[in-house]
Amino acid sequence: MAAAGARRRRLLRLLMQLGSVLLTRFPFWNCLSALMLFAERADARRKPDIPVPYLYLDMGAAVLCASFMSFGVKRRWFALGAALQLAVSTYAAYIGGYVHYGDWLKVRMYSRTIAIIGGFLILASGAGEIYRQKPRSRSLQSTGQVFLGIYLICVAYSLQHSKEDRLAYLNHILGGEITLQLLFILYGVLALSFLSGYYISTAAQILSVILPLVILFIDGNLGYWHDSRRVEFWNQMKLIGQNVGIFGAVIILATDG
């Protein structure tokens, strides 16, 4: 029994470390995919979401926060900084008006950004630390969980009201519309759990099983999103990276919630 308990603790610790790695390294991928996206747009003489001088400052701040988080130096503070940086850059891109997206794509993009911000807040609370030297901030963790709940509400909304998202799921799930409605209910229940703060570990464990399948079969269907729905290739890669980062945050909650 003692040996089994020790193995379980080691496994949970490894999973928690994996979640931290995925989340803390996310800004690197986000910057890379953004640069590739803007290079893709430059060929078509289209402007980036954020004006160029501010874009470099934004990416510099993201890389700085990611570097310190990755090395574990003042992780809580730089996780909070990463959340603030992402919020400011998203707001700047939204009000900039340089690029116009469809409503369904806006929901996909901004809901995932909200979830990533929530993940950074969870990290800033002290969750996911192997050797916790300071008490965990439950208020920051609760706020991060609410942001994840908002993301799940948006996913559930898209399954009902976005033709693009509905087709993406219907092309890969058995049972058709019935299974889609069951997924809608599941996302809704998980959202309520994150918003209320009840059964967080259980909800996170369920979500940590669902998300890899979504990343692989739904987000990873580049032919559908890029060719059929005209989502820019590197924008879709950016969305995939966001879901991987969300997966990291969910693993942290599932193992250290």
Query: So what's the pLDDT on residue 1?
Result: 58
> What is the DSSP annotation of the chain?
-HHHHHHHHHHHHHHHHHHHHHHHTHHHHHHHHHHHHHHHHHHTT---SS-HHHHHHHHHHHHHHHHHHHHTSSHHHHHHHHHHHHHHHHHHHHHH-SS---HHHHHHHHHHHHHHHHHHHHHHTTTT-SS--S---HHHHHHHHHHHHHHHHHHHHHHHH-HHHHHHHHTT-TTTHHHHHHHHHHHHHHHHHHHHTSSHHHHHHHHHHHHHHIIIIIIT-HIIIIIIS---HHHHHHHHHHHHHHHHHHHHHHHH-
Q: ∠153-156-158 over CA atoms, to 5°?
A: 110
Range of the domain at 56: 2-256
Query: So what's the pLDDT on residue 49?
Result: 78
Q: What is the pLDDT along the chain (257 residues), one digit of tens a residue?
A: 566 777 877 888 888 889 999 999 999 999 999 999 988 888 777 777 787 788 889 999 999 999 999 998 889 999 999 999 999 999 888 887 667 788 999 999 999 999 999 999 999 998 888 777 788 899 999 999 999 999 999 999 999 999 999 999 998 888 889 999 999 999 999 999 999 999 999 999 999 999 999 999 999 999 999 989 999 999 999 999 999 999 999 999 999 86
Q: CA 96, CA 179: separation in Å to the nearest integer?
A: 39
Q: CA 164, CA 29: separation in Å to the nearest integer?
A: 25
Q: CA 200, CA 125: separation in Å to the nearest integer?
A: 15
- Residues 249 and 144: beta-carbon distance below 8 Å: yes
Q: In 3D, which of 46, 35, 45, 50 has the Cα closest to residue 241?
A: 35
Query: So what's the pLDDT on residue 2?
Result: 64
Q: In 3D, which of 95, 126, 117, 110 has the Cα closest to residue 27?
A: 117
Tokens of 41: 């747009």
Q: In 3D, which of 99, 23, 107, 91 has the Cα closest to residue 54?
A: 91
Query: So what's the pLDDT on residue 243?
Result: 97
User: 97: left (phi > 0), else alpha (psi -120 to 50), else beta?
Assistant: left
Q: Could you give the number of structural domains in the chain?
A: 1
Q: CA 27, CA 245: separation in Å to the nearest integer?
A: 9
